[in-house]
Amino acid sequence: MKIAIFVDKNGTVLPFFSSGMVETYTDESGEWKRVSRVPHEMDGELTMNTIRLKVKQFIAQLDNCNQIILKNVVGFAKPVLEEYNVNIWVYKGELNAALLNHIRTEILIKQAEKARSVSQPQIVGDPEQLSYKLDICHVDNCNAESEAGEVIISFFQNTHFKEFTVLCREKLIWLKALSELFQLNMAVKLLPDEVWKMTIVPVDFETGLLHRKTIKLSQLPGHEDCSTCSTSDSCIPELLKLQTEQQMTLR
94 with 145, same domain? no
238 and 131 part of one domain: yes
Could you tell me if 96 and 127 lie in one domain? no
- Do residues 238 and 208 both lie within one domain? yes
pLDDT in tens, 74-107: 888 888 888 888 899 999 999 999 999 999 999 8
Same domain, 189 and 226: yes
Domain end point (choices 94, 114, 134): 114
Same domain, 145 and 193: yes
pLDDT digits (tens, 9 = 90+) for 153-193: 889 999 999 999 999 888 888 888 889 889 999 999 999 88
Q: What is the CATH number of the domain that holds 166?
A: 3.30.110.40
Q: Could you give phi then psi for residue 195, rounded to 5 degrees?
A: -110, 130
Same-domain status, 135 and 239: yes
Q: Are residues 145 and 218 in the same domain?
A: yes
Query: Quick one: 70 and 166 in the same domain?
Result: no
Q: How far is CA 189 from CA 18, 49, 146, 182, 202, in A?
A: 46, 38, 22, 21, 18
**DSSP secondary structure letters along 10-39:** TSBB--SSS-EEEEEEE-TTSS-EEEEEEE
Final residue in a domain of this structure, among 84, 114, 144 = 114
Distance of alpha carbon 226 from alpha carbon 231, whole angstroms: 10
Query: Among the three residues 91, 114, 137, which one is the final residue of a domain in this structure?
Result: 114
Residue 28 lies in domain: 2-114
Bridge partners (DSSP) of residue 184 are: 202
Q: How many domains does the chain have?
A: 2
Instruction: Verify that 138 and 241 share a domain, yes or no.
Output: yes
Q: What is the pLDDT of residue 141?
A: 57
**Percent of the chain scoring above 70 in pLDDT:** 81
Q: Identify whether residues 86 and 157 lie together within a single domain.
A: no
- pLDDT in 10s for each residue of the chain, 251 residues: 999 999 999 999 999 989 999 999 999 888 899 999 999 888 767 788 888 888 888 888 887 899 999 999 888 888 888 888 889 999 999 999 999 999 999 988 887 766 555 678 888 888 889 999 998 887 765 556 677 888 898 899 999 999 999 998 888 888 888 898 899 999 999 998 889 999 999 999 988 899 898 887 765 644 444 444 444 444 555 655 555 554 444 44
pLDDT at 33: 94
Q: Give the pLDDT score at 239.
A: 57
Residues 79 and 164 in one domain: no
The CATH number for 52's domain is: 3.30.420.130
